[in-house]
Homo-oligomer: A and B are copies of this chain.
Amino acid sequence: MTTLRLGIAGLGTVGCGLLVLLRDNKAIIEQRAGCVLEVTAVAARDRSRDRGIDLSGIAWADDARGLATRDDVDVVVELIGGEDGIALDLVRDAVGAGKHVVTANKALLAVHGTEIARLADVNGVHVGYEAAVAGGIPIVKALREGLAGNRIKRLYGILNGTSNYILTQMGQHGAPFADVLAEAQELGYAEADPTLDIGGGDAAHKLAILTSLAFGRPVDFAGVHVEGIQQVTPEDIAFAAELGFDVKLLGIAEETDHGIAQRVHPCMVPLNANIAHVNGVFNAVEVESDQADVTTYVGRGAGGGPTASAVAADIIDIARGLRLPLFNMPAGELRDQPGAPMDRRFGCYYICLHVVDQPGVIADISAILRDHAISLESLLQRGRDPGERVPVVLTTHDTEEAAMMEALKRIAALDVMIEQPRMIRIENL
């Protein structure tokens, strides 16, 4: 039996999870891969840390970049993270040296994916990145292979487990965002600096990768419209439920008349949508294609085991001889397609206003909406409290984002407005 030699850079949760997986499932992996997977070298920041794993017989590289050129490494597994720095150097060097690469690094691919794809083509190597998107869910494989006969029309997903956990908790307990975030941090579901998760950046990285894969387009992270969940309130989630919706942070990529739209923002989704049932730290992706119609993929988006499962699948693919272009076609054939401006998003909107309860408020708001040709779908004004603060909730029929934004600006300027209006887009899934 031949041996495939692995050099692993990064021994955090995922790196250690991978070592455990390769050890515990050695026998079945060898049967399936048809070869022995041997970790010959590792690199990590702290050599002295006890990771509870036997590293004897494995070479230790003080500089991860060194893995790229070691003679005893066939596949470089990059688990360092970060869009630049050592991770980028390592991946570039490894591919340049003709080594296959497996990476869990979404930021790196979202920003430098096209360059890496080109480099991989030139050097004839395979770059696996199943672990970079939605952890244990084999969604890259589904798009790159399982649906390879399809034209993709739209895909959307819950791509960040931390945000989904927070929204789920807010909905179930009516607790405000800040409290739930603090609790999530205590439980280890949110990082000390949660910006990338709750601000939508992490989901945007993943979405940019999926978009290129689905639409055969150079990766365009800068073109992703990103909003996080920081402004969502328990009140919004309660009103959503009353209106037949749940609130989810989605990444959406779709072909529109104005180009390829890429957006990450809180969405109201129908309570009976598949994706509405995906709660807590779970991720989900739904793909709409011309032949297979809708297919849905759900699983754990993070954690040592699920992420290591994805890394292992990529390694086994390489062992079995799979060689695919990174974004599913040679990098030179990726087609620049215009990005759809967010202004042109066409759909329904939920608006929550806190106003002083006095005669004429609804008339003023209605007049503004009429001026922008926006048609009301429903209006909820719960309770009366003359002269005091009351919430008014509106939902609109389909309209263009630009019109909605103009109208919101004018509504926000009304004298009766107590706080900034809150808007959540309603997605027809």
Q: Copies per complex?
A: 2
| A36 nearest CB across to chain B (Å) | 14
Residue of chain B at shortest CB distance from A306: B292
* Contacting pair B289 A309 (CB below 8 A): yes
* Contacting pair A149 B293 (CB below 8 A): no
Choose among B138, B149, B321 the residue that contacts A309 (Cβ–Cβ < 8 A). B149
* Contacting pair B306 A291 (CB below 8 A): yes
Choose among B29, B293, B299 the residue that contacts A296 (Cβ–Cβ < 8 A). B299
Number of interface residues of A (CB under 8 A): 62
Per-residue interface assignment for chain A, residues 129 to 168, with 1 indicating a CB less than 8 Å from any chain B CB and 0 otherwise:
0100001111001100111111100000000000000000
Docked Cα-Cα span, A151 to B330, in Å, equals 34
* Contacting pair B137 A295 (CB below 8 A): yes
* Contacting pair A148 B33 (CB below 8 A): yes
| A310 nearest CB across to chain B (Å) | 8
* Contacting pair B296 A298 (CB below 8 A): yes
* Contacting pair B316 A293 (CB below 8 A): no
* Contacting pair B145 A142 (CB below 8 A): no
Residue of chain B at shortest CB distance from A316: B148
| A19 nearest CB across to chain B (Å) | 12
Docked Cα-Cα span, A294 to B141, in Å, equals 17
A47 adjacent to chain B (CB < 8 Å): no
Choose among B149, B299, B329 the residue that contacts A312 (Cβ–Cβ < 8 A). B149
Residue of chain B at shortest CB distance from A272: B277
Chain A contacts with B in 287-318, Cβ cutoff 8 A: 289-300, 303, 305-306, 308-313, 315-317
A15 adjacent to chain B (CB < 8 Å): no
A413 adjacent to chain B (CB < 8 Å): no
* Contacting pair A313 B136 (CB below 8 A): no
Docked Cα-Cα span, A321 to B312, in Å, equals 20
* Contacting pair A31 B330 (CB below 8 A): yes
Residue of chain B at shortest CB distance from A136: B292
A interface, CB within 8 angstroms of B: 17, 21-22, 24-25, 28-29, 31-34, 130, 135-138, 141-142, 145-151, 216, 272, 274, 277, 289-300, 303, 305-306, 308-313, 315-317, 320-324, 328-330, 333
With A21-B291, A138-B146 already in contact, 17 other A-B pairs whose C-beta atoms are closer than 8 Å: A17-B291, A25-B150, A31-B328, A31-B329, A31-B330, A146-B310, A272-B277, A274-B277, A289-B309, A290-B305, A291-B312, A292-B300, A292-B309, A295-B298, A295-B300, A320-B324, A322-B322
